[in-house]
Amino acid sequence: MKPKHIFIASSLVAIICIPAIYLYMPSIVWILWLVVPIIVIGLVDIIQTKHTIRRNFPVIGNFRYLLEEIRPEIMQYFVETDTEGRPINRIYRSLIYQRAKKVNATTPFGTQMDVYETGYEWMDHSIYANNHADIQHESRILVGGDACLQPYSASILNISAMSFGALSKNAVLAMNTGAKIGGFAHNTGEGGISPYHLEPGGDLIWQIGTGYFGCRTEAGNFCEENFQKNATLDNVKMIEIKISQGAKPGHGGILPASKNTKEIAAIRHVKPHTDVHSPPKHTAFEDAKGLMHFIQKLRDLSGGKPVGFKICIGKKDEFKDICEAMVTLGIKPDFISIDGGEGGTGAAPIEFSNSLGMPLKDGLSFAIDTLRGYDLKKDIKVIASGKVLSGFDIARVIAMGADMVNSARAMMIATGCIQALQCNVNTCPTGVATQNKSLMEGLVVKDKAQRVANFHEETVKSFIELVAASGIRKTEKLTRHHINRRIGMNQVLKYSEIYPEVPEGVYLKQMEKVIEENGVG
- Low-confidence stretches of the chain (pLDDT beneath 70): 1, 21-23, 27-30, 32, 136-138, 258, 346-347, 519-521
Instruction: Report DSSP state, residue 149.
Output: S
CB atoms within 10 A of CB 349: 12
Contact 170, 441 (CB under 8 A): yes
| pLDDT digits 0-9 by tens, 497-507 | 999 999 999 99
Q: How many Å is the Cα radius of gyration of the chain?
A: 28
Q: What is the pLDDT of residue 512?
A: 83
Distance separating alpha carbons of residues 241 and 302, to the nearest angstrom: 13
Q: What distances in angstroms separate CA 399 from CA 7, 405, 483, 487, one per listed residue?
A: 66, 12, 7, 19
Contact 59, 24 (CB under 8 A): no
Start-to-end C-alpha separation, the chain: 87
Give the residue from 304, 310, 308 showing the smallest Cα distance to 333.
308
Distance separating alpha carbons of residues 442 and 452, to the nearest angstrom: 17
Give the residue from 207, 277, 215, 283 showing the smallest Cα distance to 242.
207
The order of strands in the sheet holding 121-123 is 121-123, 483-488, 491-494
Distance separating alpha carbons of residues 71 and 422, to the nearest angstrom: 12
Q: Which residues of 141-154 are buried (b: 16+ CB within 10 A; e: fewer)?
A: bebbbebbeebbeb
Q: Which region holds residue 457: left if phi is over 0, alpha if psi is between -120 and 50, else beta?
A: alpha
| 227-231: long-range contacts, CB 8 A cutoff, minimum separation 24 | 227/298, 227/301, 227/302, 228/301, 228/302, 230/192, 230/193, 230/206, 231/206, 231/298, 231/301, 231/302, 231/303, 231/305
> Half-sphere exposure of 209 toward its Cβ, with a 13 Å CA cutoff?
25
Instruction: Report DSSP state, residue 231.
Output: H
| 405 contacts: CB under 8 Å, gap ≥ 6 | 156, 157, 158, 383, 384, 385, 388, 393, 394, 397, 398
| pLDDT digits 0-9 by tens, 10-69 | 888 877 777 776 667 776 666 767 888 888 898 999 999 999 999 999 999 999 888 888
Distance separating alpha carbons of residues 145 and 479, to the nearest angstrom: 23
For residue 167, list its beta bridge partners: 164
Q: What is the pLDDT of residue 28?
A: 67
Distance separating alpha carbons of residues 404 and 459, to the nearest angstrom: 13
Give 121: exposed, middle or buried? Use CB within 10 Å, 0-12, 13-18, 19+: middle
* This prediction's pTM: 0.90
Contact 382, 369 (CB under 8 A): no
Q: What is the pLDDT of residue 16?
A: 79
For residue 276, list its beta bridge partners: 255
SS3 311: strand
Contact 46, 2 (CB under 8 A): no
Q: What is the pLDDT of residue 136?
A: 64
Distance separating alpha carbons of residues 160 and 459, to the nearest angstrom: 15
Distance separating alpha carbons of residues 405 and 391, to the nearest angstrom: 11
For residue 485, list its beta bridge partners: 121, 493
Contact 312, 363 (CB under 8 A): yes
Q: Which residues of 74-86 are buried (b: 16+ CB within 10 A; e: fewer)?
A: eebeeeeeeeebe
SS3 351: helix
Distance separating alpha carbons of residues 513 and 519, to the nearest angstrom: 10
Q: What distances in angstroms separate CA 440 from CA 82, 170, 174, 273, 413, one per listed residue?
A: 28, 6, 12, 21, 15
Give the residue from 36, 43, 83 showing the smallest Cα distance to 59.
43
The C-alpha torsion from 246 through 422 and 172 to 299, rounded to 10°, is 20
Contact 174, 415 (CB under 8 A): yes
| pLDDT digits 0-9 by tens, 319-337 | 999 999 999 999 999 999 9
